[in-house]
Amino acid sequence: MFDHIAFDTPYQTLALPCSIQLTVKRLDLIHPQISGNKFFKLKYNFFAAQQQGLRQILTFGGAYSNHIAATAYAAQLVGFQSIGIIRGEELSTQDLNPTLQTAQDFGMQLHFVSRAEYRLRHESEYLQQLQGQYPQAFIIPEGGTNTLAIQGTQEILTSEDKENYDVICCAVGTGGTIAGLIESSSEQQQVLGFSALKGDFLQHDIQQWTTKNNWTLTDAYCCGGYAKTTDELLQFMQQFEQRYAIPLEQVYTAKMMMGLFDLIQQNHFPANTRILAIHTGGLQGRFQT
Ligand SMILES: *Cc1c(COP(=O)(O)O)cnc(C)c1O
Question: pLDDT per residue over 198-253, tens digit each?
Answer: 998 999 999 999 999 999 999 999 999 999 999 999 999 999 999 999 999 999 99
Q: For residue 265, name the pLDDT band (cuts at 50, 70, 90).
A: very high
Q: Rounded to an integer, what distance in angstroms lies between the CA atom of residue 50 and that of residue 273?
A: 43
Instruction: Answer yes or no: is pLDDT of 11 > 70.
Output: yes
Q: Is the CB of 280 under 6 A from ligand 1?
A: yes
User: How confident is the model over 61-70, as pLDDT tens digits?
Assistant: 999 899 999 9
Span from the CA of 270 to the centroid of ligand 1 (angstroms): 28
Nearest to 108 by CA among 99, 117, 118: 99
Over the chain, what is the mean pLDDT?
95
Task: Single out the residue of 235, 287, 286 nearest to residue 261, CA to CA.
Answer: 235
Residue 285's pLDDT band (cuts 50, 70, 90): confident
Per-residue pLDDT at 160:
96
Would you state the pLDDT for residue 55?
94
Cβ–ligand 1 contact at 263 (below 6 Å): no
Could you tell me if the CB of 252 is within 6 A of ligand 1? yes
Quick one: pLDDT at residue 286? 81
Residue 119: other Cβ atoms inside 10 A: 12
Instruction: Tell whether the model's pLDDT for residue 8 goes beyond 50.
Output: yes
Of 32-41, 64-73, 81-90, 267-276, the one with minimum mean pLDDT is 32-41
Tell me, using a 6 A CB cutoff, whether residue 217 lines ligand 1: no
31 versus 125: the higher-pLDDT residue is 125
Q: Does ligand 1 lie within 6 Å of residue 156's CB atom?
A: no
Q: Is the CB of 42 under 6 A from ligand 1?
A: no
Distance CA 145, CA 221 (A): 22
> Could you please report the per-residue DSSP string of 157-213?
S-HHHHHH-SEEEEEESSSHHHHHHHHHS-TT-EEEEEESS-SSHHHHHHHHH-S--
Q: Which ligand 1 atom lies nearest to the CA of residue 252?
A: 11
Instruction: For residues 148 and 93, give the distance between their C-alpha atoms in angstroms, rounded to a whole number.
Output: 35
**What pLDDT does 10 receive?**
94
Q: Say yes or no: do domains 2-32+147-285 and 38-144 share a fold.
A: yes
pLDDT of residue 7: 66
Burial class (CB in 10 A: 0-12, 13-18, 19+), 37: buried
CA of 280 to the centre of ligand 1 (A): 7
Average pLDDT over residues 89-111: 95
pLDDT of 288 over the 60 cut: no
Query: Does the 38-144 domain belong in CATH 3.40.47.10?
Result: no
- Select from 170, 279, 280 the residue to mutate for testing ligand 1; criterion: most ligand atoms less than 8 Å from CB: 280
Fold of 2-32+147-285: Rossmann fold (3.40.50)
pTM of model > 0.85: yes
Residue-range domain boundaries for the chain: 2-32+147-285, 38-144
| Strands 190-195 and 167-172, sheet pairing | parallel
Q: Quick one: which atom of ligand 1 is closest to the CA of 149?
A: 7
pLDDT surpasses 50 at 289: no
DSSP 136: T
